Chain A
Amino acid sequence: MQALYAQLLVGLINGSFYALLSLGLAVIFGMLNIINFAHGAVYMMGAFVAYFLLNLGGINYWWALLLAPIIVGIFGMILERTMLQWLTGLDHLYGLLLTFGIALIVQGVFQNYFGSSGLPYAIPDQLKGGMNLGFMFLPIYRGWVVVFSLVVCIATWFLIEKTRLGAYLRAATENPTLVRAFGVNVPRMITLTYGLGVGLAALAGVLSAPINQVRPLMGADLIIVVFAVVVIGGMGSIMGSIITGFALGVIEGLTKYFYPEASNTVVFVLMVLVLLVKPTGLTGRAA
């Protein structure tokens, strides 16, 4: 039973990353009509920025949790201003191709300087150790990742669904021209949205740094799984992305326990099943 709970926890952690990443993808897709292929690369950048902050600037984990998403978010906003904005009005596919190119550049540069091996990032002192819950031993850091991700996801949902800014965002998703006519600066909102989505990915990167080590290709395979998550959940609903992300993480964890050979493929197999039964995805509208 111990092993089962341990795998469930791993599943929940992976689920947190899926949720944070697919949430960012959904937010970006809503505003920019772009599938951000560079999402895995910015996730990796988040982890690397945390690593640099600690080793070059002596800035600890807690500040990195705040600073890394801001730094990477600014990098994202520069990308949006200098490149992505020129794709407005073109076919969706060009956005995918452009961000794929950006991902190759970013990952290639990091691979050049850091090879393919992982760099260690220590768990902050306050979150070291573990708790005995009676039925299992819970490493505190892992529990923290799950809880904190959940809080960030809910906060993002609240920001988009319940605040005035979120209302503008949703309105601009539906009809940007009309929202501009009301005097809202839609291009700036698009830039900020891209920054927000990218920042969420970077945050996931910082959270994963002490667990998965910091590697240039840490996001490259992950992003493909997240794409499958997005296909399963559909990108129409924020809450849908969060729930699908966590649920698939848990299912993956269970698979690791019951049938480890399939743990790499279970999300893709589920995607195929969902497509066969309900082609529009679980929460999605027709594309």
Chain B
Amino acid sequence: MTTLTDDTLRATPRAMRDEMIVFVVMALLLASVPFTGVYPFFVMQALCFALLACAFNLLIGYGGLLSFGHAMFLGTAGYCSAHALKVWALPPELGILVGIAAAFVLSLITGFISIRRQGIYFSMITLALSQLLYFIYLQAPFTHGEDGIQGIPQGRMFGIFDLSKPTVLYYVVLVGFLAGFLLIFRIINSPFGEVLKAIRENEPRAISLGYRTDQYKFLAFVLSGTLAGFAGALKVFVAQNASLTDVHWSMSGEVVLMTLVGGLGTIFGPVVGAFVIIAMQQYLAGFGQWVTVIQGSIFVICVLTFRRGVIGEIAHYFRRSL
């Protein structure tokens, strides 16, 4: 069986150097956005999804586990942060922490359940668990059902940064995104990340070498879910609401699509994929349900002809690790 990702390129010092250069370029480009006249709301939204896709990619690209329920972390963190900010009137930094903590607890529970089955069953279980949560949030009083939690106060981060100013909010979101991205980058290049890749390539062999593969996969799941929760908490400040769309299965599908378009198991692919898909939704918003048809077509085209994704193809062409 062929593996999901093209990993003929090893983590060498040169690869690390390439990746750091691309990272610095990406950070500088993103930092200059407020001076270019690009609509900052669009970029902030894309950054939240990019972080979510990177967290998702940690699980599939490096752990070989396709979660079809990552929206549950996004939505749970979103609801909990929103509730903390609006009802408990917590300051933004604590609101984010509440969201992350909620996603952490949720990923402990769902990880414990779903990691018990492999491959295709894992995807179906995560999908079913997220649907279970969807119905719970639909009925729970604190989420306000179909209306969602609206009009969330943005407040002052650490009492200094006024998040209701778009530029300030933009840089806070950017710093959050870059911090999450660097953490994922660090995890991938750590000994833990190497073991994870070994498990993805050949699990029986990893077991025979004495690794407790279930524990590694569980830890990867918890890290991925918690980081996805961080994305969900940040998104609350951008969208100023938390609603059922964030927990719906179609959101989980979108995350998969972003990562697939950008390149499974590439470091920068999910970021590119998130920007492509969010931009597409923005420009095609007037076409109604055709957006769904186009997204489906992209899935089909990617799987049939373009499995490496944008960044994967570029990396393959230049024989670089990106």
On chain A, the residues within 8 Å of B307 by CB distance are 90, 94
B123-A101 in contact (CB<8A): no
A64 to B119, CA, bound (A): 37
Asked whether any CB of chain A lies closer than 8 Å to the CB of B105, the reply is: no
The reply to whether B117 and A287 form a contact with Cβ atoms under 8 Å apart is yes
B164 at the A/B interface (Cβ < 8 Å)? Answer: no
Is A272's CB under 8 angstroms from B293's CB? no
Q: Does B192 contact A (CB under 8 A)?
A: no
Chain A neighbourhood of B291, CB < 8 A: 108
CB-CB < 8 A to B172: which residues of A? none
Q: List residues of chain B with CB within 8 A of the CB of A224.
A: 127-128, 131, 249
Residues from chain B with Cβ under 8 Å of A111 in the complex: 289, 292
Closest chain B residue to A93 by CB distance?
B66
Taking the complex as formed, is A264 at the interface, i.e. its CB lies under 8 A from any CB of chain B? yes
Which residues of chain A come closer than 8 Å to B288, judged between CB atoms? 112
Most chain B CB neighbours (cut-off 10 Å) among A94, A101, A221, A275: A101
Q: Are B2 and A90 in contact (CB-based, < 8 A)?
A: yes
Tell me whether B293 and A104 are in contact (CB under 8 A): yes
Q: How far is the CA of A98 from the CA of B293 in the complex (A)?
A: 13
**Complex: how many Å from CA A228 to CA B135?**
14
Task: Contact check, A94 vs B303: say whether CB atoms are below 8 A apart.
Answer: yes
Which of B128, B297, B300 has most chain A Cβ within 10 Å?
A: B128
Instruction: Tell me which of B60, B117, B290 contacts A275 (CB under 8 A).
Output: B117
Chain A: minimal CB distance from B130 (Å): 9
Judge if A53 is at the interface, Cβ distance under 8 Å. no
Q: Is the CB of A268 within 8 A of B132?
A: yes
Q: In the complex, which residues 96-124 of chain A have their Cβ closer than 8 Å to any Cβ of chain B?
A: 96-98, 100-109, 111-112
* Known contacts A94-B303, A111-B292, A287 near B119 by CB under 8 Å: yes
Flag if B131 contacts A97 (CB, 8 Å): no
Give the contacting residue for A98; candidates B60, B114, B295, B303; CB below 8 A. Answer: B303
Q: Residue of B at shortest CB range from A25?
A: B124
Contacts of B131 in A (CB 8 A): 221, 224-225, 228, 268
- A104: nearest chain-B partner, CB-CB: B296
A216-242 interface with B by 8 A CB criterion: 220-221, 224-225, 227-228, 230-231
Asked if A91 is at the interface of the complex by the 8 Å CB criterion, the answer is: yes
Compute how far the CA of A116 lies from the CA of B253 in the bound complex, rounded to whole angstroms: 20
Q: Is the CB of A268 within 8 A of B129?
A: yes
B120 close to A (CB within 8 Å): yes
Instruction: Point out the residues of chain B lying under 8 angstroms from A268, CB to CB.
Output: 128-129, 131-132, 135
Given A94-B307, A224-B249, also A83-B300 (CB < 8 A): yes
Q: From DSSP, what is the main secondary structure of chain B's interface residues? A: helix
A91 touches B125 (CB 8 A): no
| B121 with A287: CB separation less than 8 A | yes
Interface string of B245-261 (1 = CB under 8 A from A): 00001000100100010
Asked if A212 is at the interface (CB within 8 A of a chain B CB), the reply is no
Point out the residues of chain A lying under 8 angstroms from B304, CB to CB: 83, 86, 98
On whether A269 and B256 interact (CB within 8 A), knowing A112-B289, A287-B121, the answer reads no
Which of B60, B132, B138, B299 is close to A101, meaning CB atoms less than 8 Å apart?
B299
**Interface contact A287-B118, CB-CB below 8 Å:** yes
Contacts A112-B289, A287-B119; A91 near B128 (Cβ below 8 A): no
- Is A276 positioned at the interface, with any CB of B under 8 Å from its CB? yes
Determine whether the beta carbon of A92 is less than 8 Å from that of B129. Answer: no
- Residue B1 contacts which of A91, A220, A227, A275 (CB distance < 8 angstroms)? A91
Residues of A within 8 A of B114 (CB): 275
Nearest CB on B from A98, distance (A): 4
Interchain CB contact under 8 A, A96 and B249? no
Distance between B121 CB and nearest chain A CB, rounded to angstroms: 5
Chain A residues within an 8 Å CB radius of B256? 97, 100
Q: Tell me whether A101 and B125 are in contact (CB under 8 A).
A: no
A166 close to B (CB within 8 Å) = no
* B3 close to chain A: CB less than 8 A: yes
A265-B132 in contact (CB<8A): yes
Cβ of A183 within 8 Å of any chain B Cβ, yes or no, is no
Q: Is A134 an interface residue (CB 8 A)?
A: no
B296 touches A108 (CB 8 A): yes
Q: Is the CB of B120 within 8 A of A98?
A: no
Q: Are the CB atoms of B116 and A279 closer together than 8 Å?
A: yes
Residues of A within 8 A of B2 (CB): 89-91
Give A155 Cβ to nearest chain B Cβ, in Å.
27
The 9 closest A-B pairs by CB, nearest first: A101-B299, A104-B296, A108-B292, A105-B296, A108-B293, A268-B132, A279-B116, A227-B124, A228-B128
Given A107-B292, A228-B128; 10 other pairs, CB 8 A cutoff: A96-B120, A97-B303, A98-B304, A105-B296, A106-B296, A108-B296, A228-B124, A231-B125, A265-B136, A275-B116
